[in-house]
Amino acid sequence: MSFSTKAKKYFLNLRTPSILTNGIEVINPYKLPDVRKAVGNFYNKFYNDDKKRIYMIGINPGRFGGGLTGIAFTDPAALREHCGIENSLGERKELSSKFIYEMIAAFGGVEEYFSKVFMTALFPLALTHRGRNFNYYDDKKLFNSLKPEIKKSLETQILFGSKKEKVVILGKKNAEYFRLINDELKFFVKIIVLNHPRFIMQYRQRSMKDYVNSYIRAIN
């Protein structure tokens, strides 16, 4: 079974978990026909093989990026303009997606990048609170309720075709929680922690080239 087939089977069958914490909502884009079509086209185009890849793991999708397209760090505009996949998911642009696709261009382009890297999130669905993006670790009760889902999600996604010698984790706080899980389940040997794209774009944009280079070094 190809990487693409396993990824599609997982993402297109994701169920929305019940959230017990008041005011926090889960966005599951995979229910929508247009998202399902875009996700299928993306994985068929870039992952229709049995290669093992380095995993780059974020926090959870943003509502204007992966929360719209179903593809990590990829807003509708990037999906269309960089990946060559037409979609009817709007024109939204997201800061994290902008950084990632600048980095991908510097890496050698989407074909080269996706042949070596799989981008995903520790919790695979977008979370919001009062209409704003919310991180799975922003509320301890939320993390504890989602932890079984996170462990199961990670375990399943590794089976797509993960290289085990190293993993790239985006966000220092994200890495703290990832280590708890990795220490328990021993998925990856080496953890490389990088600043999250949103942090870079909001607070360090003048040094963007340096951060792009740090991402490329981590992958290579």
pLDDT in tens, 3-48: 999 999 999 999 998 776 778 999 999 999 999 999 999 999 999 9
Which pLDDT band, with edges at 50, 70 and 90, does 74 fall under?
Answer: very high
How is residue 81 written in tokens?
Answer: 């303009």
**H and E: helices and strands count for the chain:** 10, 7
d(CA 113, CA 118): 9
Mark out the alpha helices in 168-219 (DSSP H runs). 172-185, 197-203, 208-219
Cβ 75 vs Cβ 97: under 8 Å: yes
Percent of the chain with pLDDT over 90: 90
Candidates 95, 109, 67; CA nearest to 199 is 95
Amino acid at 192: I
The span from the CA of 202 to the CA of 13, in Å, is 34
**CA dihedral of 120, 121, 122, 125, whole degrees rounded to 10:** -120
Model pLDDT for residues 141-177, shown as the tens digit of each residue: 899 989 999 999 999 999 999 999 999 999 999 999 9
Per the structure, how many domains does the chain have?
1
61 closest CA partner among 190, 153, 140, 191: 153
Terminal C-alpha separation, the chain: 26
Alpha-carbon dihedral sign for residues 48, 40, 93, 97: negative
Q: What is the pLDDT of residue 20?
A: 62
Instruction: Name the one residue in this structure whose structure tokens are 């003048």.
Output: 206
Long-range CB contact pairs, 36-40, < 8 A, 24+: 36/12, 36/70, 37/87, 38/69, 38/70, 38/71, 38/79, 38/85, 38/87, 38/89, 39/8, 39/11, 39/12, 39/69, 39/70, 39/71, 40/8, 40/12
Identify the domain containing residue 138 by its residue range: 3-219
> Contact, 95 vs 33, CB < 8 A?
no
Q: 165: domain CATH number?
A: 3.40.470.10
As a whole number of Å, the CA-based R_g of the chain is 16
